[in-house]
Amino acid sequence: MPDLASPFLDIRNITKSFGVVKALLDVSISVTKGEIHTVLGENGAGKSTLMKILTGEFAPDTGYFELEGQRLRATSPAAAHAMGIHMVHQELAVFENMTVAENIFPYHNFKKAGCIDYHRLFQEAREKLGLFGLKTIAPEAPMASISLAGQQMVEILRCIVAEPKVIILDEPTSGLNDHEADMLLEILRHLKATGLTILYISHRFKEIMAISDRISILRDGRFVTTLANDGSVSENDLINNMVGRDLSRSLYQIKTTGNAKSGAPLLQVRGLAKARALNDSSLDLNPGEILGVFGLEGSGTSKLSRMMYGLETSDAGKVIVKGRHISPLTPRRMVAEGVMYLNNNRKVAGLLPELPVTDNFSLPVLQKFSRFLGFLDLPRLGNLATNFVKAFAIALPSLATKPANLSGGNQQKVMLSICLVPEPEILIVNEPTRGIDVGAKTEIHRFLLDIASRGVGIVMFSSELPELMSLADRIQIMRNNSIVGEVKAGDYTEQAIMRYAAVGSDNLAV
Amino acid sequence: MPLNTGRTLGLNPKRRRIDFASWVILYLTLALFFFLSASRSSFLTVGNIHSILYDTSFRFFAAIGFTLLIIMGELDLSVGSMFGFGGAMMGLFIFNYQLPVEAAIPLAMLVAGLIGLAVGFLVTTFRLNSMMVTIGVMMAVKGVNWILIQRFGGRQLARAQYNFVTLELFGIKWTILVMLVVALIFEIFLTRSRHLKQLYYIGHNFSTSVLYGLNANAVKCACFALSAALSAFGGALMTARLKHPHVTVGANLEISVITAAVIGGASIFGGRGSMIRTMLGVLFVSLLQNGLTSFNINTYVQQIILGAILVLAIYIDVRVNAKKA
C-alpha cells in the first residue's frame, strides 16, 4: 500500500473559467506517491480541464499545484515534461509512419558517428517492450501495422522512458476490448509497483474498482470527495457522489409527467448499426414529445444522432419519417422531409460566423423562398429574419451583424433559429446548451418546451442529466454503443439513470 | 486589394452603402488606365482599347468557372490547358471528322465538360485536393493538345470556319459584348438567385451547407464541368481568331486567371468572389501586359512581374481573409 500520509502531488484551490462557464471551482486534490488515483466525474465535470492544467495546456485563473513539496506552475506541455508530468491522451498521438522503436524514443537519438544508431535503438526498444511483456510487438514494425491496444501501450512506454514522476492516463481503455484492457491494467499495476504515481481517468466502473487506490470525484467543476478503494466503496457510492445535485435549488424544474400526443409516430429509427461504432439502435418519436438520449462520453450518443440524420453512413437499419422510409438517408432528404439538426459544435458546423445573420437564416429555406429562375424573395426573407430575432430575443445591433461578433449564448440562439426557420416537424438537437451561460440556457430550454408544445417532436441528445430530466418526456440511455434502457418522466431518479449509463442494466443490483 | 468582398443578401436597404473597399480592383484598373493614357501616346486610341478588350473577352471565358469554384474554396488550375484543349478539339472535329464549326465547338465543349465532371467527381467523392487534381489534368490535357496540334501540321481553318469570331455589333466585336452580358448575368445570379447564392454558403462552411440540406457535391461537380466547358469555348474562339490551332493558345493562362480572380476580391479560402470584379481583374492583367509591352519590356520580364503580383495578391488575401485561429 502506498504511503498515504504525505501528499506527493498536491492540487491546491484551482479555479478556471472559460468566459462565463466555470469549468473548475476551487478544486483541491492530494495524490500520494506510488498510488493509482482515479479522477471521476460526468462529462463536463472538469476532469479534462484539470488534467490540462497539470500538463500546462491551460493556465489556472487561481490556485497552483505542488509536486514533492515544490510549488509549480506548468506553462506548457514541455515545461510539464521537465517537471516529470506526462499525459497519454485519449486520442492517440503516435507517428503512424515510423517504427515502434522510433515512437518509443522520439527524443532520444542513439547516435553513432553522427547518424542514428538503429541497432541500439531497436535493442533498447526491445528491452522496454519486454519489460511490459509485449514480446509480440517488433520494434522494427511500422506503428500503423500494430493493433490499437499495442499503439496505446507504446504510447505509455514513450512516457515511461522519460522517467516521469506522474503519468496521467485519459480513458486509456476506451478503444480496447476486455482482454486488451486487462493487459493494460496489469501493466499499470506493474508500473505502480515501481513507484510511479498514476492519475487515471475512466468511465468504466469495473476497471476503476479493480485498479484504483483512491478515487476523487468532481461534479460541475467542484471537488466532491476522495474515497479510498479499500473494499468499503461500492459502485453505487461513486454514482451517488457523481450526481446528487441539489436539484430543488437549481434552475431546473424536473418534469414529472410526459405530454406526448399519441398517434402515428413522427420518426422511427429501426436497427441502426455500424461496426465498432453503434449497435442495433431503435427509437420512436411522437408528435409534441421530447425524447432524451443520455450517455457518458464514448457511449455512442453522438454517432447515433449523426447517423439518424444521414451525416454518417450506417451499415444497417433504416429511418422512417411520418411513415416514409428515407432512402438514401442524406441530410438533404431529411431537411426536405421536415427534419432539422442542431449541431453540438457551432464552431465546426451549424453556423456561418462570417456571414450576416439574415444570410444564416436564409440557408435552409433558399428553395422555399425562391421564385422564377431561383430569384430569392428578399423582402420576405428579411421579414422572416426580423421575426426570428424578435421571437428569440437575440441581442443584435442589426440584421447585418455577423454571428462571429455575438456572445456564445446569442450564437447558440441564432443556430437554433436557423433550424426552426423551415418550420420543421422533427428537431434533432445535440448538446443544445453546451458552453453557454445560465441565462441563455434557460431561454433555450423554454424555447424547446414551447416548440414541443406546438407539436414538434424533439430528439434531444445531451450529456447534462439535469437538463434532460427537466425537458424530456422519456429518456433513453446509451452505454457501450447500445441503447440499454429507457425511463419515463416522473418515474426515475438521477441515480438510476447514471447507474444505467455507468454499469448498464444488468448490474442494477449492485 | 481583396478587402471585405463577402456577399450578403443586402436585406437592409437603409443601411446599404457602397462598399468602397471591395472595389479596389476598379481603382487599380482606372489608375493603370490613366497612367498609360498619360504616359503612352499610342495607348488611348479606339483601336488599342478595342483590341485590349477583345483580348480580355477570350480570356474571360477561362475565368468564369474558375471564379465560381474559388467561391466554393476549390481551385481549377486546368483552365489554361482546357482553353487550349478547346482549340485542339475544334481542330480535331473539323480536320479529321469534317464537321462544320457549328458542331465542332459544342462538341469540344462537351468533351471538356466531361473531363471537368470527372475532376469534380474525384474531388467530391474521394476528397482529393482540387489544386493537385487539376495540376495533373493540366499536364495531361496539355500533352493531348500538343500531340493533336503536331498532327495537324500547321493546317489552317477555312475562312468560313473562323470569320464568325470577328463579327461586330455597333462597331464592337461580339465577344466583348458577350463578356459584358455574361459577367452581368452571373453577377445578378450570384447575388440574387439561390442557384449561385448557395456557392457562398458552400465556400463559407461546407459542413454547415450540407447540414442544412444543400447538395454541395453536386454543385461542385457542375461548376467543374462548366469551368472546363467555358474554358474550351474561349479557346475555340481564340483558335478561330488565330485561324489555326496553336500550342500557345491558353499557355500560362491559369496564372493570369488566378491573379485576376484574387485581385478581383476572391479568396483562396472560399466564400468570396464576384464575376464583375473577376472580369475587371482579367482586364487589369490585359492592360498591364499591353502597357508593359508598350514600354518595350520583354515577355520574360513580364512573367516575373505577373508572378510577383500573384504572390502579392495571395499575401494580402491571407492577411485579410485567413480564418482567425
In this structure, the number of other CB atoms found within 10 A of the CB of residue A240 comes to: 16
The whole-angstrom separation of Cα A329 and Cα A325 is 9
Q: Which helix (H) or strand (E) holds A307?
A: helix A301-308
Give the pLDDT band of residue A244 (cuts 50, 70, 90): low
Question: What is the set of domains in chain A, with CATH numbers?
Answer: 7-248 (3.40.50.300), 255-338+424-503 (3.40.50.300), 349-423 (no CATH)
| B193 contacts A373? CB cut-off 8 A | yes
Rounded to two decimals, the pTM is 0.80
**Structure-model confidence comparison of residues A219 and A114, the more confident one:** A219
Which chain B residues have a beta carbon less than 8 Å from that of A358? Answer: 8-9, 11-12
The alpha helices in A23-99, defined as continuous H runs, are: 47-54, 77-83
The tens digit of pLDDT for each residue in A272-330 reads 999 888 899 999 999 989 999 998 877 888 889 999 999 998 999 999 999 999 989 99
Q: Mean pLDDT highest for which of A314-328, A375-389, A397-411, A437-451? A: A314-328
Question: What is the set of domains in chain B, with CATH numbers?
Answer: 47-321 (1.10.3470)
Closest CA to A217 of A182, A251, A244: A244
Average pLDDT over chain A, rounded to an integer: 85
| B192 contacts A375? CB cut-off 8 A | yes
| B194 contacts A374? CB cut-off 8 A | yes
Q: Does A398 touch chain B (CB under 8 A)?
A: yes
Q: Are A292 and A475 in contact (CB under 8 A)?
A: yes
The per-residue pLDDT for A253 is 64
Give the minimum alpha-carbon distance from B189 to chain A in angstroms, rounded to a whole number.
8
Q: Which of A363, A368, A402, A418 to mutate to test the interface with B (most CBs of B within 10 A)?
A: A363
Give the pLDDT band of residue B79 (cuts 50, 70, 90): very high
Q: Which of A313, A343, A352 to mutate to test the interface with B (most CBs of B within 10 A)?
A: A352
Which chain B residues have a beta carbon less than 8 Å from that of A378? Answer: 9-11, 192
The tens digit of pLDDT for each residue in B126-183 reads 999 999 999 999 999 999 999 999 999 889 999 999 999 999 999 999 999 999 999 9
Closest CA to B109 of B239, B203, B229: B229
**Long-range interactions of A141-146: CB distance < 8 A, separation 24+:** A141/A99, A141/A100, A142/A96, A142/A97, A142/A98, A142/A99, A142/A100, A143/A94, A143/A95, A143/A96, A143/A97, A143/A98, A143/A99, A143/A100, A143/A103, A144/A96, A144/A97, A146/A100
| A362 contacts B9? CB cut-off 8 A | yes
| B271 contacts A354? CB cut-off 8 A | yes
For residue B6, the chain A residue with the least C-alpha distance is A355
The per-residue pLDDT for A368 is 87
In the chain, the amino acid numbered A465 is L
How many residue contacts between A and B have a Cβ separation below 8 Å?
A: 102
* Among A residues 287-316, those touching chain B with beta carbons less than 8 Å apart: 311
| A311 contacts B211? CB cut-off 8 A | yes
Which chain A residues have a beta carbon less than 8 Å from that of B195? Answer: 373-374
pLDDT at A135 over 90: no
The tens digit of pLDDT for each residue in A1-60 reads 444 456 888 998 999 987 777 789 999 999 999 999 999 887 778 888 898 888 888 888
Q: Does A88 touch chain B (CB under 8 A)?
A: no
Give the pLDDT band of residue B1 (cuts 50, 70, 90): very low
Closest CA to A290 of A419, A474, A462, A450: A474
Give the minimum alpha-carbon distance from A379 to chain B in angstroms, rounded to a whole number.
7
The tens digit of pLDDT for each residue in A330-353 reads 999 999 999 999 998 888 899 999
For residue A357, the chain B residue with the least C-alpha distance is B8
Q: Does B15 touch chain A (CB under 8 A)?
A: yes
The tens digit of pLDDT for each residue in B106-120 reads 999 999 999 999 999
Q: Does B302 touch chain A (CB under 8 A)?
A: no
Which chain B residues have a beta carbon less than 8 Å from that of A369? Answer: 194
| B197 contacts A376? CB cut-off 8 A | yes
| B214 contacts A355? CB cut-off 8 A | no
Closest CA to B183 of B76, B67, B73, B83: B67
Which chain B residues have a beta carbon less than 8 Å from that of A343? Answer: 211
**Structure-model confidence comparison of residues B17 and A267, the more confident one:** A267
Answer left, alpha or beta for residue A373, where phi above 0 means left and psi between -120 and 50 means alpha: left
